[in-house]
Amino acid sequence: MSARTMFRASLQIGELQIPVRLYAAVEDRKIHFRLLHADDHVPVVQKMVDAETGDEVRRDRIQRGLEVEPGQFVAFEDEELDALAPETSRTMSVEAFVATEQVDFAWFDRPYYLGPDGTESNYFAFAQALAKTNKLAIVRWTMRKTRYVGAVRAGPGYLLLVTLRHVGEITIPRGLKADAAEVDPKQLALARQLVSTLADDFDPSLFKDDDRERVRKLVEAKRAGAVIPIAQGRKPSETKDLSDALRRSLRDLKEKRHA
């Protein structure tokens, strides 16, 4: 099954161009409910009311505004906003390339796949060049009257595009120089052993969404007219003796393995 193309563009890298198609990489699996009036189970509609009086304000009387000073707004008509909106452009321009590890995860917003549109040779050559240099491309494009900034990365043999959050929308702590002497070497050795015992590959199929499953069961139970029980977890407490906890952890894990 191939997915729906969301957008077609041309990736512009200096003089070089790669026609691409954009596909959503994530899908919504949430179970959605609608809000209903309890009395008659009629779906509710949203209305805007005056915060002070509670009186309804009709759609055509509502204005949209941007706060410029506290308590001071500048209102915009729909036509004014339309005039300000950027034109859709088929060019996805590369602003710069930067080492992959330079872009913190906090910037990443939503992932998409980029697939080749027509000719494939440039697409695969670019994916390989990105992987080889271990870099990502910072790109800008305009889609559905909105300007986006994104990062193009190489997956193994394909291109991934992740939209980026904007400057001012995140705070990344710069980090403090951790002093090596502050960590007890014995504890470090124990911790190293513990991590290697718990070492594994990244396998998302191991993550289970119990929440979703529970909601699905509730809906099914309500169809039939029943209710389901819920499980509980254990309560951990703070570690007092770090070395002792590390040692006991290793022993526990070994016992589990030999059991």
Partner 1 sequence: MPEEMEEATPRGIWSGILSFGLVSIPVDLHSITHPRRHRMRMLGPEGERLQRRYYCPEHERVLQSDEIVRGYEEDDGSFIVVDDDEIAALEPKRSREVDLQRFVPADQLSPLYVKRSYLLLPGKDSQRAYRLLARIMEETERVGIGSFVMRGHTYVVAITSARGILRAQTLRQADEVRSPEDVGLPDPPDQIDRQRVRAFVEAIDSLSIEAFDPAITEDEDETTLLAAAREKQEEGDVVEVPEESDDEGSSVVDLMALLKERLLGPPSSAASSSTLHDQTRQELYERAQELGIAGRAKMTKEELIDAIAKSA
Q: Should residue 78 be labelled a site residue for partner 1 when binding is judged by CB under 8 A?
A: no
Among 119, 155, 169, 146, CA closest to 17:
119
Label residue 134 left, alpha or beta by phi (over 0 means left) and psi (-120 to 50 means alpha): left
CB of 100 to partner 1, least distance (A): 9
> Bridge partners of 56?
49
11 binding partner 1? (CB under 8 A): no
Could you tell me the smallest distance in angstroms from the CB atom of residue 162 to partner 1?
A: 5
Q: For residues 49 and 90, which CB has a smaller minimum distance to partner 1 in the complex?
A: 49
Taking CB under 8 A as the rule, does residue 255 contact partner 1? no
Residue from 9, 92, 116, 141 touching partner 1 (CB under 8 A): that is: 116
Would you give the binding string for partner 1 spanning residues 218-247, x where CB under 8 A is met? xx--xx---xx-x-xxxxxxxx--x--xx-
Strand 108-116 with 146-155, pairing? unpaired
> Per CB under 8 A, does 169 bind partner 1?
yes
Rounded to whole angstroms, the Cα distance separating 18 from 20 reads: 6
Measured CA distances, 106 to 101, 181, 182 (Å): 12, 30, 28
**Residue 93 touching partner 1 (CB under 8 A):** no
Contact map string, positions 138 to 157, toward partner 1, x by CB under 8 A: x-x-----xx-x-x-x-x-x
Written as six digits, the tokens of 26 are 């994530």
Decide whether 90 or 239 has the Cβ nearer to partner 1.
Answer: 239
Do 9 and 139 meet the contact criterion of CB atoms below 8 Å apart? no
Per CB under 8 A, does 87 bind partner 1? no
Report yes or no: 113 and 153 within 8 Å, Cβ to Cβ. no
CB of 141 to partner 1, least distance (A): 11
Assess 181 for contact with partner 1 (CB under 8 A).
no
